[in-house]
Amino acid sequence: MEMLPAQFLQNFIDEYEAVAGRGSIEHLRQLAAPLKGARVVHVNSTREGGGVAEILQKLVPFKQALGLDARWEVIAGDRIFFACTKKLHNGLQGEAVAVGDEELRVYEDANAANAENLRSLLEEADFVFIHDPQPAALLAQCPRRRGKWVWRCHIDASRPHPPIWNYLRKWVMPYDASIFSLPEFSQALPHPQYIIAPSIDPLSEKNRDLPAAEVGELDPRFGFDSNLPLVLQVSRYDRFKDPLGVIEACRMARKLVPLQLVLAGGGAADDPEGDAVLREVQVATAGDPHIHVLLLPNSAHRTINALQRRADIVLQKSLREGFGLTVTEALWKGKPVIGGDTGGIRLQVFDHYTGFLVRTPDGAALRIRYLLHREDLRRQMGERARRFIWENYLLTRHLREYLTLMLGLLHGHQERLEAIEFS
Amino acid sequence: MQIGNGSPARPGNGFSVRDCALITLATGERAHSLKELREGLLRVPVGSLYHHFWGRLLRPQFDEPEYNNDFASWAWRGLHDRPLAERLSMVIPTDFDDLEGVRQEVLEIVHQRLDESELALWSAVDQGFCFLHGQVVVFSAGLVFDHPADIVSYLPSLSTGSVFFHFIDARRRTPQRNDDFSAWLAGFDGEFAPLIADLAGLDPYFSSLKELRHRVSAIFQRHFAGSA
């Protein structure tokens, strides 16, 4: 991504100011002032699709709007390269994958080939952010680098498959720093490991305000009962998201309070395990008019947005979770969330304030009943939830931490530093 | 870029408002039991204690936590040990001359709990404790106030980073161990002694930064109510 036109950047930042608040943007301007003119390059492996691309589509223009010379480069690779990096990704998440020597050779060759195109840009940059494992080996191809190189791991690396981590670690070790999303994901590395939680973009299709009519269209479109409260879980059909536990919880709850459940997910087409879970869910819900199982395309951001706004309560009853951005999205829409007591859900859901943490279907059923009986509390929790996300988990906070990290990196291990001009 | 620890409060001169931002780092130390917490406490740099008692205020966090430091929160959420959580939550860092004193106090409480409860030695944890530390970047907010009365209308919109810098960080940074506003006000030959006394009554440890801002603002407004 090249530098964008000044008028575009001004409009861009004005739009965020309207949502995030003037104080928040002013804070960013002051923090970014010492970094004005700094050459920053982000590198990942895809321009569109996936959470990393979504973040960079906004983070890079934002940095430009604040006066940094920020660029975004995407590496290329063939089918074997991406098959290999998918395995590296899954291995980092803990899956016991095996990657052959030939695949690793393709991985390393692809990084070397990409370095031919990017070397001068990367070596001249003041800061280089390499996202996830795909381009991690680029650093070794840039021996005359002058800036700070940071490896940004977006993956839940809390329990990586040891052979995969041993392989990746040798590429990551020479970096000046790495970034993990949660403290639990950090690893034994010989450089500073920063912790930056993910964020949501309040202006994306998935999160921006929608006309009430668009939300209202959901009932006829999907056959929801307009007279019944709606309980929603948005997630892939994955055992760790416990969709069967959600169904059990709702069936327990509706013995005492009428409700309908919507399970909305997608992306199972190329995932055999996901297909199996979806089939189990379909069998478990067959013939039940008040449980709606939706298989949505990955691009259905606006539909997900509308569903979250239509819901009375949102569930994310995960048994294991990374950060849980679906929780963040629901809280942003002012919905109380009943979430599994795990991972990043614990950072967002606070009993009686923004929702409830639960460990069993029974616990979820109890809280569903409680919240459906108390509309006033749902509204109160929803207001607190939206404010909590506004203060802590919007893109602006994410950017603030990137800028702080960049200033911090320039000064090594000092705990407190005072920023003046970047040069 | 330069490093500096100078106070923005220059008695007799203007008050330069600073802001700050925090970035969190992992220390690499983790605990999966109370025994491991004790070992970690002995090893981590004192900056980690600062982070878990004070730095947490600048992290993304909920404004009304059950406990006021990360050790107490973990004792409850990770170990499900409420007596320990209650004791740890009453370690008030402002009661100690420095953070080494805080470290010793936390260690003593952990020792005591290990001595009195066999269960504490062996109980499995739900979630581990990650020792963290932080870097704070300080920058100018671009505002200088010549007289304390001038600052009154600005205080309600003071950023939480500025509240942290002038009220929390100042206690670690300044020789008098007080907040920057009080240090500045002291330069006006006793004119603002009652205001300084009111500010001294604030307990920053049991407040969120927003709550602290609200209370500081209320004190200034009360003091200057007749002079507007």
* pLDDT score at B4: 37
Residues of B in contact with A391 (CB under 8 A): 60
CA distance A364 to chain B (A): 19
Whether the per-residue pLDDT at B6 is higher than 80: the answer is no
CB contact under 8 A, B136 and A417: yes
As a dihedral over the C-alpha atoms of residue A36, residue A38, residue A43, residue A47, rounded to 10 degrees, the angle is 30
Residues of B in contact with A353 (CB under 8 A): 62, 64
pLDDT band, residue A272 (cuts 50/70/90): low
Query: Quick one: B149 and B127 in the same domain?
Result: no
Tell me the residues of chain B between 1 and 20 that have a Cβ less than 8 Å away from chain A.
Answer: 1-5, 19
d(CA A250, CA A229): 12
Q: Which residue of A has its CA nearest to B135?
A: A415
B170 to chain A, any CB pair closer than 8 A? The answer is no
CA distance A173 to chain B (A): 15
* pLDDT score at A7: 86
d(CA B169, CA B177): 9
* Residue among A393, A238, A217 at smallest CA distance from A305: A217
pLDDT band, residue B122 (cuts 50/70/90): low
* pLDDT score at B120: 66
CA distance A189 to chain B (A): 8
Instruction: Give the model confidence (pLDDT) of A104-123 as tens digits.
Output: 999 999 999 999 999 999 99
B134 to chain A, any CB pair closer than 8 A? The answer is yes
* pLDDT score at A269: 45
The sheet that has A313-316: what strands, in order across it? A291-295, A260-265, A230-234, A313-316, A337-340, A355-358
Residues of A in contact with B28 (CB under 8 A): 186, 188, 193
The answer as to whether B7 is a domain residue is no
Last residue of a domain, one of B133, B159, B180: B133
Radius of gyration of chain B (CA): 19
CB contact under 8 A, B26 and A183: yes
The answer as to whether B158 is a domain residue is yes
Whether the per-residue pLDDT at A256 is higher than 60: the answer is yes
Whether the per-residue pLDDT at B8 is higher than 80: the answer is no
Last residue of a domain, one of B112, B133, B154: B133
Query: Quick one: B87 and B124 in the same domain?
Result: yes
The per-residue pLDDT of chain B, averaged, comes to 88
* pLDDT score at A411: 80
Place of tokens 């291995």: A91
* pLDDT score at A25: 94
Query: Quick one: B119 and B154 in the same domain?
Result: no
d(CA B39, CA B22): 26
The stretch A217-233 carries a mean pLDDT of: 97
pLDDT band, residue B208 (cuts 50/70/90): confident
Interface test with A, best of B22, B49, B62, B208 (most A CBs within 10 A): B62
B194 to chain A, any CB pair closer than 8 A? The answer is no
C-beta of residue B211 within 8 angstroms of C-beta of residue B65: no
Query: Quick one: B220 and B177 in the same domain?
Result: yes
* pLDDT score at B1: 34
Last residue of a domain, one of B133, B157, B172: B133
Instruction: Give the model confidence (pLDDT) of A159-190 as tens digits.
Output: 999 999 999 999 999 999 999 999 999 999 99
CB contact under 8 A, B132 and A197: no
* pLDDT score at A3: 79
The share of chain A scoring above pLDDT 90, in percent, equals 81
The share of chain A scoring above pLDDT 70, in percent, equals 97
Instruction: Give the model confidence (pLDDT) of A3-43 as tens digits.
Output: 788 888 889 899 999 999 998 999 999 999 999 999 999 99
The stretch B149-159 carries a mean pLDDT of: 93
Q: How many residues does chain B have?
A: 228
Interface test with B, best of A169, A347, A383, A416 (most B CBs within 10 A): A416
Query: Quick one: B128 and B152 in the same domain?
Result: no
Query: Quick one: B70 and B42 in the same domain?
Result: yes
The answer as to whether B168 is a domain residue is yes
CB contact under 8 A, B24 and A183: yes
Longest dimension (CA), chain B: 63
User: What's the total number of domains in chain B?
Assistant: 2
In this predicted structure, which of A406-415, B134-143, B145-154 has the lowest mean pLDDT? A406-415
CB contact under 8 A, B23 and A180: no
CB contact under 8 A, B159 and A27: yes
The stretch B61-75 carries a mean pLDDT of: 86
Q: Is B16 helix (H, G, I), strand (E, B) or coil?
A: strand
**ipTM computed for the complex:** 0.88
CB contact under 8 A, B19 and A30: yes
Instruction: Give the model confidence (pLDDT) of A33-83 as tens digits.
Output: 999 999 999 999 988 777 788 889 999 999 999 999 999 999 999 999 999
Whether the per-residue pLDDT at A389 is higher than 80: the answer is yes
Instruction: Give the model confidence (pLDDT) of A126-146 as tens digits.
Output: 999 999 999 999 999 999 999
Whether the per-residue pLDDT at B132 is higher than 90: the answer is yes
* Residue among A132, A135, A133, A129 at smallest CA distance from A148: A129
Q: Is B143 helix (H, G, I), strand (E, B) or coil?
A: strand
Whether the per-residue pLDDT at B5 is higher than 80: the answer is no
B130 vs B206, which has greater pLDDT? B130
The answer as to whether B10 is a domain residue is no
* pLDDT score at B226: 67
d(CA A238, CA A271): 10
The answer as to whether B37 is a domain residue is yes
Instruction: Give the model confidence (pLDDT) of A318-364 as tens digits.
Output: 998 888 999 999 999 999 999 999 889 999 999 999 999 999 999 99
Q: What are phi and psi of A238, to 5 degrees?
A: -140, 135
CA distances to A19, A351, A378, B95 from A337, in Å = 22, 10, 10, 39
* pLDDT score at B214: 95
The stretch B142-146 carries a mean pLDDT of: 90
CA distance A103 to chain B (A): 32
pLDDT band, residue B228 (cuts 50/70/90): low
Query: Quick one: B42 and B80 in the same domain?
Result: yes
Query: Quick one: B87 and B179 in the same domain?
Result: no
C-beta of residue A310 within 8 angstroms of C-beta of residue A229: no
B64 to chain A, any CB pair closer than 8 A? The answer is yes
CA distance B24 to chain A (A): 5
The per-residue pLDDT of chain A, averaged, comes to 93
Interface test with A, best of B58, B135, B158, B174 (most A CBs within 10 A): B135
C-beta of residue B19 within 8 angstroms of C-beta of residue A407: no
Query: Quick one: B128 and B172 in the same domain?
Result: no
Query: Quick one: B120 and B186 in the same domain?
Result: no
The answer as to whether B8 is a domain residue is no
Query: Quick one: B182 and B222 in the same domain?
Result: yes
- Range of B66's domain? 22-133
Residues of A in contact with B157 (CB under 8 A): 23
Beta A127-131 vs B15-31: how paired, if at all? unpaired
Query: Quick one: B150 and B114 in the same domain?
Result: no
Residue A111 CB burial class (10 angstroms; 0-12, 13-18, ≥19): buried
Which residue segments constitute the domains of chain A, with CATH numbers given?
A: 6-199+395-409 (3.40.50.2000), 212-392 (3.40.50.2000)
d(CA A233, CA A219): 16
The answer as to whether B140 is a domain residue is no
The answer as to whether B15 is a domain residue is no
